[in-house]
Structure 1
Amino acid sequence: MDSKKRYKILTILLIMQWAFIKIIVQFPNIIETYYSNGLYVFISQFLRILFGWIPFSIGDLLYAAIILFILSGIYKAIKYKNLSLKATFFKITGIISIVFFVFHFNWGLNYVRLPINASLNFKTSNYSNTELIDFTKKLITKTNESQVSITKNDTVIVENPLSKKEIKSNVGLAYNQLEKKYPQFKYTNPKVKHSLFSMPLTYMGFGGYLNPITNEAQVNSLIPKNNYAATVCHEAAHQIGIASESEANFVGYLATTNSNNAYFKYSGYLMALRYCISEIYRKDPASFEVLKPLINKGILKDMQQSQTFWQSYNNWSEKYFKTFYDNYLKANKQVDGIKGYSKMVVLLINYHKNNDFEL
């Protein structure tokens, strides 16, 4: 079969795949049972074994190769008049067809699985302002306790003695503890990598990402260390099939706060507190001013340090990259797009209605 005919067949298959996805997303129970808790478990384990031992991201290199291939095809079609635009079109759509299949087969169907609260047997509902404030007060207490247990001084910033490489290597231990409580979060062959594009990621405003083609979880190596453990556990949550960003934040919170490592616990509570206090600031600035003095000065310094880090990389391009990612999430049934990150607060409040804090 010549290459032209092959690309035309792949283009037809792209249309058929798109139609199949439109149908299968109507049946999240089937995806949950047979894909997320079935086929995907073996796919993800295999990919972590296949690529986990390699210190750099194969997925990043693959992304670069695909982009160069597409740009090269467009360039040649424009430069050389004898090349058919039609043939170039089928070549590009043929490659997209392959990527589309691998994306959904290797990971993408997790976007339409059942919500995490169904797996953990708790109901979610919108919270009142009073519930948000009451929960945040409890969270402030837990974060304060976590910070003082490490520093012995409420005005001192936590200084994590572990290197980022050591933090990455401990993610499996955190999930081992979580698995004892919730077996569905079993995480075998743990491996999280530093992104080859950490500097561009920082300018784009992102802490990490999962490559859905190779199942490689990558973390921005430049982010502040006290945020690092929670980010690593967030990306590991993606690896075990938690596609929603708010749910990956929530599972990352559970993994860090159930860990035996004090620095992991602090990172998890710090992340949760940041989300809750930001939500109060957005909805009720007066209550924010009342709650802020309750937070240990060392934690406030930590939050300011993190904010200063991200502000130092603010640039005009960040909003465009986030708009692109927002549309990507919406295209994958995450209707709130990038705003969905804040839904973690809904999960936190509803989960802790029936689950007391534990240190």
Structure 2
Amino acid sequence: MKTIGLFPDFVENWYSKGFYPKVGFVSRKIFGNLPFSFGDVIYFILILLLFRWIWKHRIGFFKEWKANGLAILSWVSVFYFFFHLLWGMNYYRIPLHEKLQIEKEYSVAQLEAFVEKMIVKTNELQLQITKNDSVAVVIPYSDEEIYNLALEGYKKLPNDLKEFHYEVKSIKKSLFSYPLSYMGFGGYLNPFTNEAQVNYLKPKYTSPLTTCHEMAHQTGIGSESECNFIGFIAAAKNDDLYFQYSAYSFALRYGLRNLEKIEENSSNPFLAKINKGVLKNFEENDIFWNQYQTPINTFFEFFYDNFLKANQQKDGMEGYSKFVGLAIGYEDKGLGIRE
């Protein structure tokens, strides 16, 4: 699998645009209409079987280390093979910025201009929705309504992103939302059933963007930065104001965060320009994730960071924030993001 990954043109044309769309389509057809996450149920059963196997072999485990080690290695190998076959090869496709011929690096001045644009748009949407610049946005939809509305944004992707069109909905509330919260994840894609899993516990104003992000994985995107970018575009292009707000407030947070990475407190002048209602939503999000901040979260961030790097995603967890460069490059090329 790794050897094939050295040939991104082959992966792009044979796998990401050939084999994978057919597999993903069939998987979503089979599991999409189930009212629960089939993939989560399978994971739960596998975890139980793992614990049962460990318990059964607890006595003399290290004495039989060679046989036990081979058994573990064989199962990991099978898991890893099917992971790549059913979805994981998408990690090795041609990077989106190369296909769009845009720069993903940016100057401080470009980042500041981007943040200014995001502030204006986010403030406009917050005021349009609440009629009061000091009131936080509350999404009135159910989770299922959000999943259905998300499809509309993908229908309006710009022509140069049409290859990421979405067919056959398979989006579920994750049965593992509590563990996902402690792990620090807003959602994930099950590569074996192609179900998009959304953490339903987190603040609902973030759910439209998270849903669109996980849908981007279903269209065959492995890179987290590219999923953030496509998810952002899909939510921003949606006619629904709550989706637009979720998109622009998301981009604004990452823009401010990236300013802070460049220079501490450099985001302060911009914070003063943001409506109080928007800041209340940001605080709501921070309070939620802070309550689940434990060593478990740190461990899984470390694990996933190294997992991404091992699969040719050199930025690791930092890749999530790299979408800002794609958004700036996309707009600077004149392709346009804002309504």
TM over 0.5: yes
2:41 maps to what in 1? 61
For 2:17, which of 37, 44, 47 is the aligned residue? 37
Give the unaligned 5+ runs of structure 1: 1-20
Q: Secondary structure at the match of 1:193?
A: strand
1:5 maps to what in 2? none
1:94 maps to what in 2? 74
Any conservation in 2 of the 1:122–1:351 contact (CA below 8 Å)? no
Shift in Å, 1:309: 1.5
Q: Which amino acid aligns with 1:56?
A: F
Shift in Å, 1:94: 2.9
Any conservation in 1 of the 2:233–2:337 contact (CA below 8 Å)? no
Any conservation in 1 of the 2:122–2:245 contact (CA below 8 Å)? yes
Q: What TM-score comes out, normalization by structure 2 length?
A: 0.93
> Is the alpha carbon distance of 1:229 and 1:316 closer, same or farther for their aligned partners in structure 2, counting shifts above 3 Å?
same
1:312 maps to what in 2? 291
Q: Report the Cα distance in structure 1 between the residues aligned to 2:109 and 2:239, rounded to whole angstroms.
A: 32
Q: Report the Cα distance in structure 2 between the residues aligned to 1:67 and 1:148, rounded to whole angstroms.
A: 47
> Is the alpha carbon distance of 1:42 and 1:277 closer, same or farther for their aligned partners in structure 2, counting shifts above 3 Å?
same
More deviation in 276-285 or 246-255?
Answer: 276-285
Q: What TM-score comes out, normalization by structure 1 length?
A: 0.88
1:47-86 correspondence runs (5 A): 47-79=27-59, 86=66
Q: Which amino acid aligns with 1:296?
A: N
Q: Report the Cα distance in structure 2 between the residues aligned to 1:98 and 1:156, rounded to whole angstroms.
A: 51
Any conservation in 2 of the 1:116–1:247 contact (CA below 8 Å)? yes
1:208 aligns with 2:187: yes
More deviation in 291-300 or 93-102?
Answer: 93-102
Shift in Å, 1:80: 6.6
2:305 maps to what in 1? 326
More deviation in 313-322 or 180-189?
Answer: 180-189
Q: Secondary structure at the match of 2:332?
A: coil
More deviation in 279-288 or 298-307?
Answer: 279-288
Residue deviations 1:151-175 (CA, integer Å, cap 9, x gap): 2222221222212221112121221
1:271-290 correspondence runs (5 A): 271-290=250-269
> Is the alpha carbon distance of 1:90 and 1:288 closer, same or farther for their aligned partners in structure 2, counting shifts above 3 Å?
closer
1:139 maps to what in 2? 118
Q: Report the Cα distance in structure 1 between the residues aligned to 2:219 and 2:82, rounded to whole angstroms.
A: 17
> Is the alpha carbon distance of 1:313 and 1:86 closer, same or farther for their aligned partners in structure 2, counting shifts above 3 Å?
closer
Any conservation in 1 of the 2:157–2:237 contact (CA below 8 Å)? yes
Shift in Å, 1:63: 2.4
Q: Report the Cα distance in structure 1 between the residues aligned to 2:158 and 2:116, rounded to whole angstroms.
A: 28
Q: Report the Cα distance in structure 2 between the residues aligned to 1:163 and 1:195, rounded to whole angstroms.
A: 15
Give the RMSD, CA atoms, in angstroms.
2.0
Residue deviations 1:301-343 (CA, integer Å, cap 9, x gap): 1111111121122223210121111121112111121121111
Alignment size in residue pairs: 337
1:294 aligns with 2:278: no
Any conservation in 1 of the 2:97–2:104 contact (CA below 8 Å)? no
Any conservation in 2 of the 1:179–1:185 contact (CA below 8 Å)? no
1:171 maps to what in 2? 150
Q: Report the Cα distance in structure 2 between the residues aligned to 1:266 and 1:198, rounded to whole angstroms.
A: 23
Q: Report the Cα distance in structure 1 between the residues aligned to 2:113 and 2:237, rounded to whole angstroms.
A: 22
Any conservation in 1 of the 2:170–2:194 contact (CA below 8 Å)? no
